[in-house]
Structure 1
Amino acid sequence: MPRLAEAAYTEQPWRIHELTRDFSVEDVWSFRTPGAGPGDFPAMLAALRAAGGPMQQSWPTRSLFALRWKLGALLGWDKPSAGVGTRVLSLRDRLPDDVRDAPRGPDDAAMPLKAVYELDRECARELANKTVHTVMHLGWVQGADGDYELRMAVLVKPNGWFGRLYMAAIAPFRYLIVYPALTRQWERAWRDRNQAEHEEGTSR
């Protein structure tokens, strides 16, 4: 199963740990990338960007995100005053010098989470609104079969009781709709990348 125990994240020597001691681990997920090697994390990130953001997923997932953005606009959850740099400080303000000097990673209008940092085998993005400050961490880990695989951890710091209620309310939708669709999209992105490389190699 793609969902992993929290230890699959906490036991890795990620740089993100030193930045998020006041966050809790909400989810840990794995994505199969057959044939991947230790240096393929940048290629995987490129494949994910080519696959597009949430609105490139299945119809149920697109509908959920569209509903969430409409509710946010109606109730004022996503106002700039509730975001990163206003209600909460960006994690970039916590970066040690060696990580701060590394490439940040590109921001994209299709991806509402904004880049914090991007290293050879991990990267982080963040989002804040009136409900929560959340971080999506991606890491590159060697699996039991020897291939490398992508792992995602979602870290959260709810904004008071309302944020905790919000996270509890959306949990069934994440597990039943969003994460399964994300798994299909991201694993397909890796397969498509491999297929494109194979076709390019055979045409030479």
Structure 2
Amino acid sequence: MRLPHTAHTGIPWRVHEVTADFTVEDVWAFRTPGAGLDDFPIMLTAMRTAGGFARQAWPVRFLFAVRWKLGALLGWDNPTAGVGVRVASLRDRLPRDLGEAPRGEDNDNMPLKGVYELSLESARELANKTVHTVMHLGWVQGINGDYELRMAVLVKPNGWFGRLYMAAIAPFRHVIVYPALARQWERAWRDHSSRATQHGERG
């Protein structure tokens, strides 16, 4: 479910300390029925177990295949445009306590790399010739008492081209990509809960 930007900016997340020059692009909520305060690490594990875009429906896989192909042809994803080259990593801005926190699991299939991972929030980043983006995940208590996952996408476009690029892909994100991501992540939570129930345990 798409949320207003205030659903992210109105919570005192640690990410605000290092993203003052980024803008909030999207905020989404993902349903995790029965989740409690301490279940954020469990949700992250469930999401990783569910797999990435390779396990998404074919429209999402097609969109990303086209995007990576265009990026290869036009040089958008050249390593010289990435984090640590074109832009400094957010890790360079972290206060000491966040810098000492775990980054979270990285692998070659995960283009967004870990910045930090805490008990209630995590941040990952990606940069190319179009944008420097941060994906923030937070764990928030919903109106029914259960906790839910929230994702905020923060961006710093690379000039006018980056702004045009973000505007061009907005309909695809909102209509295809994020709804598919919601189905995958919410299913990952339900599958985890089902397995935990079968084994008579949580976590």
Q: TM-score range by the shorter chain?
A: over 0.9
- Structure 2 residue 84 is matched with structure 1 residue 85: yes
Provide the secondary structure at the position in 2 that maps to 1:168.
Answer: helix
**CA distance in structure 2 between the partners assigned to 1:78 and 1:164 by the alignment:** 17
Aligned residue pairs: how many?
Answer: 201
Give the drift of 1:17: 0.2
Provide the secondary structure at the position in 2 that maps to 1:86.
Answer: coil
Who is 1:167 aligned against?
166
Provide the secondary structure at the position in 2 that maps to 1:127.
Answer: strand
Provide the secondary structure at the position in 1 that maps to 2:101.
Answer: coil
Moved more, 116-125 or 52-61: 52-61
Who is 2:95 aligned against?
96
Who is 1:117 aligned against?
116
Q: Is the 8 A contact 1:52 1:110 kept in 2?
A: no
Q: Is the 8 A contact 1:5 1:28 kept in 2?
A: yes
Give the drift of 1:201: 2.0
**CA distance in structure 2 between the partners assigned to 1:144 and 1:110 by the alignment:** 35
2:41 is aligned with what amino acid? Answer: P
Provide the secondary structure at the position in 2 that maps to 1:65.
Answer: helix
Give the drift of 1:139: 0.1
Q: Is the 8 A contact 1:130 1:163 kept in 2?
A: yes
- Structure 2 residue 170 is matched with structure 1 residue 193: no
**CA distance in structure 2 between the partners assigned to 1:117 and 1:34 by the alignment:** 26
Who is 1:55 aligned against?
54
Give the drift of 1:28: 0.3
2:29 is aligned with what amino acid? Answer: S
Who is 2:72 aligned against?
73
Provide the secondary structure at the position in 2 that maps to 1:170.
Answer: helix
TM-score (norm 1): 0.97
Q: Is the 8 A contact 1:82 1:129 kept in 2?
A: yes
Q: List alignment gaps of at least 5 residues for structure 1.
A: none
Deviations 1:40-91 (A, max 9, x none): 0000000000011122111100110111011000100000000000000000
2:105 is aligned with what amino acid? Answer: P
Q: Is the 8 A contact 1:19 1:94 kept in 2?
A: yes
Who is 2:35 aligned against?
36
Provide the secondary structure at the position in 2 that maps to 1:39.
Answer: helix
1:61 is aligned with what amino acid? Answer: V
TM-score (norm 2): 0.98
Who is 1:46 aligned against?
45
Provide the secondary structure at the position in 2 that maps to 1:27.
Answer: strand
1:128 is aligned with what amino acid? Answer: A
- Structure 2 residue 162 is matched with structure 1 residue 178: no
Who is 2:8 aligned against?
9
Provide the secondary structure at the position in 1 that maps to 2:200.
Answer: helix
1:76 is aligned with what amino acid? Answer: G
Q: List alignment gaps of at least 5 residues for structure 2.
A: none
**CA distance in structure 1 between the partners assigned to 2:7 and 2:164 by the alignment:** 26
Deviations 1:99-150 (A, max 9, x none): 1111111102221100000000000000000000000000000000000000
